[in-house]
Amino acid sequence: MSDIINLLPDSVANQIAAGEVVQRPASAVKELLENSIDAGADKIQLIVKDAGKSLIQVIDNGCGMSITDARLCFERHATSKIRQAEDLFSIRTMGFRGEAMASIAAISQIELKTRRHEDDLGTCLEIEGSNVVNQEPVATPAGTSISVKNLFYNIPARRNFLKSNPVELKHIIEEFQRLALAHSKIFFSLHHDGNELFHLPASGLKQRLVHLFGNSYNQRLVPVEEETTIIRIQGFVGKPEFAKKTRGEQYFFVNKRFIKDPYLNHAVIGAYEGLLSSETFPLYVLFIEIDPAKIDINVHPTKTEIKYQDDRSIYAIVRSAIKRSLGQYNITPSLDFNQETAFSQMITQKPIDEIVEPSINFNPSFNPFDTEDTKERKDKADGGGQRAANHGSYKAAIPQNWESLYEVTEKVKVNQLNLHDDSEMQTEKQATKQIFQIHNRFIISQIKSGFIVIEQQAAHERVLFERFMRQLEDRQGASQQSLFPQTVTLNQADFELAQELLPHIEALGFQIRPFGKTAFVVEGIPADIGPSLQETQVIEQLLETYKNYQAVDRITKRESVARSLARNAAIKSGTRLDQEAMTDLIDQLFACESPNVSLSNKPIIITFTIGELLTKFGKLS
């Protein structure tokens, strides 16, 4: 039997590696921008077309490459940052594994122009599917310009799995924002299809935040800074009153590398204990500096996860630093009962002999029952006895038309009787329909064989979802005009996503139009969502819920929008419902196509039979 194990050709191995490194255009954007940062550039331009599917171009003024390095950088495991295994534990650069450029070259057509500052001529290199098709000298500015064209051109199956342009552009913007935040001293710009989306001059972190997310963020930020023997943490957190219903701007950076860390996120949320309403999320942009030897960043292909040697201490430091910052800026009480000086600023420091006793002035003849009418009566009095005068004074102080008090009392009695009668009638009506609400969460209704229990929130979500789906099919969603149109400002990524969803949003009954580069004016909202939700809240929640549903491939865009709005517009657990509201909800639920299953594929209705109840009580049915 012949041998069956063979070494893969480099081109095939690179395509396999590309599946890990380059998942979508945003992955290539991240790798190229990081290379420019590592090259020492202070000016980086990103140009994309067709959401990166047709073109991704990065131009920088970094150190550039020699002829040999330009050719070698596309070889697998070629890197300038690692010489030996120990170097993995002292990494301070962005890229280091030497797989990115080889992986990108394996699935695209690349043109590279690069020149070192000390060289007169640069190098132009053209590559298609890992094969070098041309290399020649070229006059080019110092630095590097790399163009990635027709991503996944030779793997059509992968290209077909890419999402729509707005979705892919949203991911590109997210990667761009993360790197722009981590390197605020570098100029960044982003152009898409000829339009400049971002123009970010070199600045401090706060200015970079404002440039990225809008001028309104200038008043929302609370600075955080703490230095210990373990880590140094600095950055900004948002004031509690500006927390959103969506997980918007939340960024952790370790040694300027963006990471995703639920553990540290829990520390941040813990610092806001008692300050945030339920299901709201604060803004934070936090930078942690730590000895590279105490972390392992090579635990995930995208390098967004990190392992720490002392994660518990880091958790405690992050939480206490944020809590202290919120206290210092009068967001939370900052009294320290363990220190004697905690109340020092509240106590006067003057000597005892300088303290002046406050004086109290009062009028001994003041009578609170005196009125102008009383004074006139006193002036006309004939000087009778003091007791008679006092009696007249109190009598005169009684309000006129005092007899009407009896009429008011009688009306109260009648109303109490009416309320009592109404209560009896309501009880009788309720007893007829046999519908009850318990814990403001469940509805119980009697049926012939026993009774049913309905979860009210899940039931209303099902009713609204099927209603919204019909409206999306017919494009006849009812709208209620806003008395005062509201402007909703989004970040660039969410704005692009909202643009994609705009036809579906309008079909549901929204009256909305773009306003500027990242804002919408909402002039009307669907009549079904009621007045309790504000326009900004509805749009933000809809986008966030849509992003969560977006990961489920079997759900269409239209269904995702309907689910998102239904989830946000439905009555919540804990809402008290009157008899009419419960009756209407039950009637609408049983008119649905799938009344028994919630949007999360969980039961909405549970039935209990008389036999089950008798068994619980130890009786035979």
pLDDT score, position 149: 96
Domains 10-200 and 213-328 share a fold: no
Give the model's pLDDT for residue 7.
74
pLDDT band at 251 (very low <50, low <70, confident <90, very high): very high
Strand partners, 124: 113, 136
Per-residue confidence (pLDDT) for residue 338, from 0 to 100? 42
The CA distance from 434 to 422, in Å, is 17
- The pLDDT of residue 527 is 79
The pLDDT of residue 531 is 59
Instruction: Give the residue with greater pLDDT, 334 vs 174.
Output: 174
Tokens coding 452: 């049913």
Which residues lie below 8 Å from residue 185, measured CB to CB, with a gap of 6+?
42, 202, 203
- When pLDDT is cut at 50, 70 and 90, the band that residue 540 belongs to is confident
Looking at residue 384, its pLDDT comes to 46
391 pLDDT higher than 50:
no
Please name the residues in contact with 552: beta carbons below 8 A apart, sequence gap of 6 or more: 560
What backbone torsions phi and psi does residue 14 show, to the nearest 5 degrees?
-65, -35
**Can you tell me the distance from the alpha carbon of 508 to that of 557, in angstroms, rounded to the nearest whole number?**
13
Residue 426, pLDDT > 50, answer no
Q: Give me the pLDDT at residue 63, please.
A: 93
- Using the predicted structure, report yes or no on whether residue 374 has a pLDDT greater than 70: no
* Candidates 3.30.9.10, 3.90.1010.10, 3.40.50.1100, 3.30.565.10; CATH matching 10-200: 3.30.565.10
pLDDT single digits (tens) 447-500: 888 999 999 999 999 999 999 999 888 877 777 777 778 888 887 878 888 888
Determine whether domain 213-328 maps to CATH 3.30.950.10: no
Q: Looking at residue 344, what is its pLDDT?
A: 37
Question: What is the average pLDDT across 327-341?
Answer: 54
pLDDT at 164 over 90: no
Which residues sit opposite 191 in a β-bridge? 47, 196
* CATH topology for the 450-607 domain: Ribosomal Protein S8; Chain: A, domain 1 (3.30.1370)
Strand (E) or helix (H) holding 486 = strand 479-489
C-alpha 541/C-alpha 552 separation (Å) is 18
Of the pLDDT bands very low, low, confident and very high (cuts 50, 70, 90), residue 137 is very high
Mind listing the pLDDT tens digit for each residue in 259-275? 988 999 999 999 998 88
Q: What's the pLDDT score for residue 364?
A: 63
As a whole number of angstroms, the distance between CA 246 and CA 156 comes to: 35
pLDDT in tens, 206-231: 999 999 988 888 889 999 999 999 99
Q: Using 50, 70 and 90 to split pLDDT, how confident is the model at 406?
A: very low
Average pLDDT over residues 85-94: 52
- Average the pLDDT over 173-183 and give the result: 95
Q: Could you tell me the sign of the dihedral formed by the alpha carbons of 22, 28, 34, 38, in that order?
A: positive
Report the DSSP beta bridge partners of residue 295: 308
> Domain extents for the chain?
10-200, 213-328, 450-607
Structure confidence at residue 335 (pLDDT): 45
- Per-residue confidence (pLDDT) for residue 25, from 0 to 100: 95
Check whether 317 has a pLDDT greater than 60. yes
What phi, psi does 469 have (nearest 5°)? -65, -40
Place of tokens 């990494």: 91
Write the CB contacts of 375 (distance below 8 Å, at least 6 apart in sequence): none
Res. 166: pLDDT tops 80: yes
* Rounded distance between C-alpha atoms, residue 167 and residue 173, angstroms: 10
Contacts of 338 (CB under 8 A, 6+ apart): none
Judge whether residue 405 has pLDDT over 80. Answer: no
How much of the chain exceeds pLDDT 90, in percent?
41
| Eight-state DSSP code of residue 301 | T
Q: Residue 419: what pLDDT?
A: 44
Is 410 or 206 the better-scoring residue by pLDDT? 206
Residues 396-429: b if buried by 16+ CB within 10 A, e if exposed: beeeeeeeeeeeeeeeeeeeeeeeeeeeeeeeee
Say what the pLDDT of residue 108 is.
93
Of the two residues 613 and 375, the one the predictor is more confident about is 613
pLDDT tier at 54, thresholds 50, 70, 90 = very high
The arithmetic mean of pLDDT across residues 183-194, rounded, is: 96
Contact 530, 495 (CB under 8 A): no
393 pLDDT more than 90: no
Mean pLDDT of the chain: 80
